[in-house]
């Protein structure tokens, strides 16, 4: 959402407030409150990254964390292995 606000409204103080408040509102609506996400919205507004920011580091970092956590958690139990087959 921050990138959309940045694209259309720029990085004025009002736009920064809108980016942070919209991030918090979306988190409240979805029930996934994570306070550092408000700071990420502010960082996006202050650094003015391009659209590639959605892929790197946001999407790639999330995928690495999910896969790493899944591999560690599922391999703690003897009867489970993740993944079953490596490419």
Q: Are residues 57 and 34 in the same domain?
A: no
pLDDT in tens, 28-74: 999 988 888 889 899 999 999 998 888 888 788 888 888 888 878 87
Q: How many structural domains are present in the chain?
A: 2
- Note whether 2 and 19 are within 8 A (CB): yes
**Please, which residues have CB within 8 angstroms of residue 54's CB and are 6 or more apart in sequence?**
3
Q: Are residues 39 and 61 in the same domain?
A: no
Q: Are residues 42 and 59 in the same domain?
A: no
What span, in angstroms and rounded, lies between the C-alpha atoms of 30 and 74? 27
Q: Are residues 25 and 64 in the same domain?
A: no
Q: Are residues 58 and 83 in the same domain?
A: yes
Residue 37: count of CB within 10 angstroms of its CB: 16
pTM of the predicted structure, to 2 decimals: 0.68
Q: Are residues 5 and 44 in the same domain?
A: yes
What span, in angstroms and rounded, lies between the C-alpha atoms of 35 and 54? 19
Q: Is the peptide bond before 83 cis (omega within 30 degrees of 0)?
A: yes
Q: Are residues 57 and 74 in the same domain?
A: yes
Q: Are residues 14 and 37 in the same domain?
A: yes
Mean pLDDT of 6-17: 94
Q: Are residues 30 and 58 in the same domain?
A: no
The range of the structural domain enclosing residue 66 comes to: 52-87
Q: Are residues 59 and 45 in the same domain?
A: no
Question: Inter-axis angle of helices 36-47 and 2-9, to 10 degrees?
Answer: 30
């Amino acid at each position: 959402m921050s990138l959309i606000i940045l694209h259309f409204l720029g990085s004025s103080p009002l736009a920064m407030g809108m980016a942070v408040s919209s991030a918090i509102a979306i988190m409240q609506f979805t029930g996934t409150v994570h306070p550092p996400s408000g700071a990420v919205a502010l960082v996006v507004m202050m650094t003015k990254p391009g659209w590639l920011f959605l892929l790197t580091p946001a999407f790639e970092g999330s995928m690495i964390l999910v896969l790493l956590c899944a591999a560690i958690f599922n391999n703690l139990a003897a009867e489970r292995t993740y993944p079953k087959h490596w490419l």
